[in-house]
Structure 1
Amino acid sequence: MAARGHVQDPNDRRLRPIYDYLDNGNNKMAIQQADKLLKKHKDLHCAKVLKAIGMQRTGKQDEAFNLAQEVATLEPTDDNSLQALTILYREMHRPELVTKLYEAAVRKVPLSEEYHSHLFMAYARVGDYKKMQQAGMALYKIVPKNPYYFWSVMSLVMQAISAQDEKLAQTMFLPLAERMVEKMVKEEKIEAEAEVQLYFMILERLGKCVEALNMVRGPLGEKLTSELQSRENKCMMMYQRLQLWPECNALSYKLLLKNPDDWQFYLSYFDSLFHLMDMSWSPSEEGHCVEGHVTTTVAEAVKFVVDRMAEEDKKDSRPLRGPYMACLELIHRLRQRGCPDDKELGDPLELMVQFFGKFGDKPCCITDLKIYLHLLPPEQHTQFRNRLEELVPLGEAGEDGFRFPGDTKALQRHLCVCQLSRALGLQHALDTEGKLSLIAQLKAHYHHGLRFRKSCLKTELQFSDMYCLMAAHVYIDLWTENGDENMLWQCLGLLEEGLSFSPSNAQFKLLLLLLFCRLGAFHMSSTTPLGGRLYGYS
């Protein structure tokens, strides 16, 4: 509630019990206490508003609104009344009334920094950007602080963003915002990083990429320190916009030497390399690049990537994924361009097996490798799956003939192999008997993996949930192929079992919804926990 701890006058002490009742949720006692206080002090406006808050929270919205309006029409200027009315209007979802409240307060106390700033924020809540701009400048004239000036500049940018007429944004709002910032730059009044960020945003939206690049490279760019490599990221963005591929390539090269795991710079490095090759760019003809060394041949790029992998292999600590994925990405791009595979990069199958050996116990391994499975010819799919299975530590076979992982890392490796097998189409190629055998295996692994749930909260997913989901999809495959509805009922039962152990698993819920709808059982789909929300029920 309001700042009841500041006992500046007797009224604060009198109002404190009401605040306490409201804070504790005892709204009826708050109303009674307010009535007692109003009998003795009829003109204590804040008490009326606090009573209105209690009435609002007990469901008497109309009475609360009328009582609040009695105070609002008096245009109060005391902090307690204004803050209490703000809280009430917020709970009533009437933020537009807060603007009127502080407009009146500013008229009565025109030199109040606090009331002007509250008025600006009130305009921000209702999205009135033009009045935000005016309020920001009025506040800056009273208290000439940089943040207030840039509130007004940001309001102009918001008018540009929200303008339906793009021409108006480009010819009026953004140029005015640019001139306002340039004035501060010329006067050397730029202080904060946020001000530089705003200037960059304006120049970017105006399409002034050269000016934005020069600004980031210059003294103002030195203020971009809150984010890691913020300055370099902005330079890279402008190099790409301006198609300055030598600078883009050299900067990517330099940044990858510092952080060989930054994937976005691998992509920009390869993009710029092939653009330079298409342009037949030569450093001897074009001159020196301001960012440093430029890679102009595939051989140089191959050596660079291979060197990054070699450095990771030497590390005693866990290696980074970036260089190994960059090797696969470069093979992919060379094949796209019809170039033969470079022998130095290695065989894709061996590279992916190596990657799995290093990172197979991480959930990201499946998504990392999945996008490069097309590098493997069909005749290598089974071999690849078998090679990965050799790297999964499983225990001895039990009575049912299945071997299970002994910990969550081994479980994650086995899950990755199963998911990659499905992505390669090996599961789809099985006959009915083979798919039923696969389902039995997946279900056995699912139930075995539930033993690791002791360390999970109820809201967390189980480590073995993906086994259950994959088994459900194989059931669906059998249903769609053979039309056997028994497979569908088995699938529904398995998903319901999965939900009993992992009630927060949205994939289970969504798949259940889909299946119920396919069966025409719309009532069932609307009564599931997620289905009720999707269909508008409680």
Structure 2
Amino acid sequence: FFLMPHPDELKIREVFDAIETGQNKVAVKTCNALLTKNSRASQLARVLKAIALDRMGKDHQALEECAILQREVPTNEDVLRKLSYVYRSLNRTDLATVAYENAFNKEPTEELARGVFLAYARELRFNDQRSFSFKLMKQFPKCKQYYFWAAVSYIQQVSSEDLKPGNINIMMASRTLEKIEKQFSITTIEELRFMIYVYELMENYTAALELIEKYSALFKLPGDSQEMRAKLQMNLQNFAQAQQLYRELLVDLKKSNWAYLQKYIECQCLEKPITPEIAEDVLQVLQEIESAGDSSIPNRLVYLGRLQVHHLLYKANSSEDSLNILKNDMATYFKVFGSKPVCFRDVQMFLPHLPSDAAVSICKAYETVVMKESEQSEELSVKAVYRRVLLEKLKTKYKLYENLNNEKTQALVEEYLRIYRAALEIPSALSLKESERQYADDLIVLASHLYIDLYLRNGDSADLVRAIVIATMGLEKSKFNFNIKIVAMRAYCLLGALKPCYELYKTLETKHIQMDTFTHIVLSDAIGLRIPDCTEPIVFGMERFYTDSLREMPELVTYPYSKESYSRAREFRDFNDKISNSVQRAIHHVEYNLSEFINKATPAEAIEDLKFSEEKVLYKEEDYNKLYETADNSFWDDWHSIPELSSSYITSSATTLLTGMERLALAQARGNLLHLSKMILENEPLMAQDFFERFQSAYEKVSFDEVTKPMWHQLLLLFRFLTNALSIIGFLK
């Protein structure tokens, strides 16, 4: 009987369940009941009510509930955490900090003190972090963590441009760390890594090496100590010692790391062309690595290393003999690894740097080998398919299929489809899981590209339809193939068909950070083609991500302190800067708020909405110049043979063919248009004139196509008229 929960606790559980299941109205009703009877859980009930109101989109009411709770000065950590969550959601982290400060002033406990520090961290108030960490050090002198918080805060105060040895904050951080070592000693690898990081910023590499020697027992994984020491020895220009350490990593510890081999060569070349003597030494190391490994499994590092050595020799002397040796190495590499999907990207480290005729001759030599194997083999094998795919990628990349006419394009596509269908009949292909790729899927991508290339040269939309048909056929067998979906989406956008493009986009299940790094492939087209059923889900999905990031990013920034990952603090800060100031985020905010503005029923509603969101919509050129380009185009690296489908094109709209800078100028024009509309509605003639001039300046930087230019010109004339009319009315008044 005495273990039975209190009735108020049962009600609170009901509220939690209601919020978790999306029944926010039920949650608000239950919280109101608890607040009416002034229960002992009233503070928790009020903050849960604020969360439910926030999720219902009632931001102002949620803020009012938080203000009422704030006046009570809650000190319960659970209540404060939830209150902080609501404030972050409403983009008012400053009020969350005030809540923690008031709670600490009321009850100066260690738990609340940590809460205040982390609240400063969420707001990136590095100076306040540092000052408060010293208070913590005085109040709790036996806690080493607070000393590290002070040191990290010193480093966080420094801008990226000022991360230099003589910076006073870096020097103060190093002194704090010296005090920590003297008073507490270093007991974890993370503490050691952070100390080394600070010494590296100071360029005191000798002190960093001494630390590694002193605390070498903290390194648990073999090779970690040698890697750090090698890096520091290179900074000290002790290249012989660094070379020996990298040799130890490669040969003794059997670390097949391409970066180690590159550094080993760098230690000997010292930014000069490679010599035959150095090449001989590196080849000897590669031979030792190969001898120490399993002879039945080819070591990719060894083969790539030989390619790298002979490639550097060719760059140094440009002799025919060096080129022939490199060609032989390339032929050997194709023979051993040509059936591996990674082979194409591997050889891109070398082939693009050779004369075009040499690259073409290597492709043709490989073609001879592949065709001969095909003739001698009675059945198609998986390895044979991969070799043929590699060959076709190389021939496409190095323009052996450039400017094909209709007949040659059709013949090549039919050959690709013949191989693709034959690969489907390979016994192991029949047992592939639904989520796995078919062996010849890349031929589907190449075939689609051939028709897209034809369309870009001839302008016949029937070629786009053929590309889509081929991609659709590939997706029937490989429902989750990313590259096929991307090609189909681009073809649909070129055709002006946003609806099927959006249906494919949905199957990609874009989420989390991909909303910022990946949506560029479709956002510009969604804006240009603008079908509400397609455009709005894309834009609103991004809005959810950016809203969630307001809640999550401030919390992530605190992890280096709460999880004691001090050396990662700078990375978290830089990541926060990028995600908060990305090109994609800026463009999205313009389009989302334009959509919301257009859909408002009355001017009063439109003005109210703009007041809440106008800070998000950038309009100044200098603000756009500070943005980070976070678009990820690495998935497109295999297919750069068509310039219009290379990375730079993917970031722009298929319907308008804008460059990256024009895309920003267009966003700036539309952002100014939004602010201009607000000034007109609020009857502010001077501000309206200023925004119109900004709008016109951005408008003149965009190269509109012949279809959309007349519409934009009419829009410009309309807003010029409205702005002038507003000025005249103001003058008459």
Q: Same fold (TM over 0.5)?
A: yes
Distance change in 2, residues 1:420/1:274 (3 Å): same
Moved more, 475-484 or 352-361: 475-484
- SS of equivalent to 2:157: helix
TM-score by length of 2: 0.60
Alignment of 1:23-422 (within 5 A): 23-41=20-38, 44-110=42-108, 112-143=109-140, 144-161=142-159, 170-187=166-183, 189-216=185-212, 218-225=213-220, 229-257=223-251, 258-259=253-254, 261-275=256-270, 297-312=278-293, 315-316=295-296, 318-338=297-317, 347-373=325-351, 374=354, 378-379=360-361, 381-390=363-372, 396=378, 405-407=380-382, 409-422=383-396
1:27–1:57: 8 Å Cα contact kept in structure 2? yes
Q: Quote how far apart the aligned CAs of 1:333 are.
A: 0.9
Mean CA deviation greater in 506-515 or 257-266: 506-515
| In structure 2, C-alpha distance between the alignment counterparts of 1:275 and 1:329, rounded to whole Å | 16
Per the alignment, do residues 379 and 297 of structure 1 end up closer, same or farther by CA in structure 2, a change over 3 Å counting?
closer
> How far does the alpha carbon of each residue in 1:318-356 deviate from its partner, in whole angstroms, 9 at most, with x for none?
22200111011110111111176999x994444334333
Aligned equivalent of 1:17: 14
**Conserved? CA contact 2:434–2:479, under 8 Å:** no
1:227-253 Cα offsets, whole Å, 9 max, x none, are 653322222222332332212222222
2:447 to 471, 476, 480: 471
Q: Is the 8 A contact 1:273 1:297 kept in 2?
A: yes
Give, in whole Å, the separation in 1 of the partners of 2:452 and 2:122. Answer: 49
Letter in 1 for 2:316: R
Q: Which amino acid aligns with 2:393?
A: Q
Q: Distance in 1 between matches of 2:271 and 2:491?
A: 51
Tell me how far apart the structure 2 counterparts of residues 393 and 119 of structure 1 sit (CA, whole Å). 74
Q: Deviations over 1:225-282 (max 9, x none)?
A: 3x653322222222332332212222222211022521111111112222398899xx
Change (3 A) 1:121 1:9: farther
Question: CA separation of 1:532/1:268 partners in 2, compared to 1, >3 Å: closer, same or farther?
Answer: closer
Q: Secondary structure in 2 aligned to 1:315?
A: coil
1:424-483 Cα distance to aligned partner (Å, 9 max, x none) = 44444977655432211112233444564863446x655433111111233345456677
| Segment drifting more, 352-361 vs 178-187 | 352-361
Could you tell me whether the CA contact under 8 Å between 1:252 and 1:266 is conserved in 2? yes
Q: Give the Cα–Cα distance (whole angstroms) in 1 for the partners of residues 36 and 169 of structure 2.
A: 54
**8 Å contact kept, 2:130–2:149:** yes
Moved more, 295-304 or 137-146: 295-304
What code does the residue aligned with 2:299 have? L
**1:260–1:308 Cα contact (<8 Å) kept:** no
Structure 1 letter corresponding to 2:246: S
**1:533 partnered with 2:528:** no
> CA separation in 2, counterparts of 1:7 and 1:200?
54
**Partners in 2 of 1:342 and 1:214 — Cα distance?**
47
Tell me the secondary structure at the aligned position of residue 76 of structure 1. Answer: coil
Shift of 1:522: 8.3
Report the Cα distance in structure 2 between the residues aligned to 1:77 and 1:231, rounded to whole angstroms: 45
Separation in 2 of the partners of 1:153 and 1:309?
A: 46
Q: 1:8 to 1:235 in 2, by over 3 A?
A: farther
* 1:455 aligned partner: 432
Shift of 1:221: 4.3
Distance 1:182 1:507 in 2: 52
Does the aligned pair in 1 maintain the 2:27–2:49 contact within 8 Å?
yes
Percent identical pairs in the alignment equals 23
Q: Per the alignment, do residues 249 and 277 of structure 1 end up closer, same or farther by CA in structure 2, a change over 3 Å counting?
A: farther
Residues 443 and 467, structure 1, Cα contact 8 Å, conserved in 2: yes
8 Å CA contact retained: 2:409, 2:450: yes
Contact 2:93 2:122 in 1 (8 A): yes
SS at match of 1:25: coil
CA-CA distance at 1:417 after TM superposition: 2.7
2:133–2:149 contact (8 Å) kept in structure 1? yes
Partner letter of residue 190 of structure 2? A
Q: For residues 475 and 68 of structure 1, what CA distance do their matches in structure 2 show?
A: 59
* In structure 2, C-alpha distance between the alignment counterparts of 1:18 and 1:476, rounded to whole Å: 55
1:196·1:224 contact (CA, 8 Å) conserved in 2?
no
From the superposition, tell whether residues 171 and 484 of structure 1 become closer, same or farther in structure 2 (CA, over 3 Å). closer
- Letter aligned with residue 355 of structure 1: Y
Q: Within the alignment, does 1:445 sit opposite 2:442 as a pair?
A: no
Distance, in Å, in 2 between the alignment partners of 1:125 and 1:394 is 66
> 1:201 and 1:7 mapped to 2: Cα distance?
54
Measure how far apart 1:101 and its partner are.
1.0
Give the drift of 1:108: 1.3
Q: Distance in 2 between matches of 1:239 and 1:323?
A: 25
Q: 2:230, 2:243 within 8 Å by CA — same for their partners in 1?
A: no
Distance 1:82 1:8 in 2: 23
What number of residue pairs does the alignment pair up?
501
1:362 is paired with a residue of what secondary structure? coil
Which has the higher mean CA deviation after the structures are superposed, 62-71 or 364-373? 364-373
Tell me the residue number matched to 2:410. 436
Q: By how many angstroms is 1:104 displaced?
A: 0.8
Is the partner of 1:337 in helix, strand or coil?
helix
* 1:27/1:55 contact within 8 Å kept: yes
CA–CA distance in structure 2, aligned partners of residues 483 and 76 of structure 1:
67
- State the secondary structure of the residue aligned to 1:455: coil
Deviation at 1:484, TM superposition (A): 6.2
TM-superposition CA deviations, 1:390-438 (whole Å, max 9, x none): 5579974xxxxxx7x444x543333223223334444449776554322
Residue type of the alignment partner of 1:210? T
Contact 2:31 2:49 in 1 (8 A): yes
Q: 1:127 to 1:450 in 2, by over 3 A?
A: farther
- Letter of the aligned partner of 1:153 in structure 2? A
Contact 1:196 1:221 in 2 (8 A): no
492-501 vs 140-149, which deviates more? 492-501
> Following the alignment from structure 1 to structure 2, what is the Cα–Cα distance between the partners of residues 133 and 18?
39
Give the drift of 1:370: 3.4
- The answer to whether the 8 Å contact 1:245/1:276 transfers is no
AA in 1 matched with 2:120: Y
Partners in 2 of 1:239 and 1:393 — Cα distance?
Answer: 55
Take 1:243 and 1:388, find their aligned partners in 2: how far apart are those partners? Answer: 47
CA gap of 1:488–1:429, structure 2 versus 1, over 3 A, is closer
Kindly report the root-mean-square deviation, in angstroms, between the aligned alpha carbons of the 2 structures. 3.8
1:57 CA displacement: 2.5
What secondary structure does 1:141 align onto? Answer: helix
Structure 1 stretches lacking a partner, 5+ long: 1-5, 281-294, 397-402
Q: Name the SS of the counterpart of 1:77 in structure 2.
A: coil
Q: Structure 2 vs 1, CA of residues 127 and 467 (structure 1 numbering), >3 Å: closer, same or farther?
A: same
Higher relative contact order (CA 8 A, sep 6+): 2
> Which amino acid in structure 1 is aligned with residue 119 of structure 2?
A
User: Which amino acid in the other structure matches residue 385 of structure 1?
Assistant: E
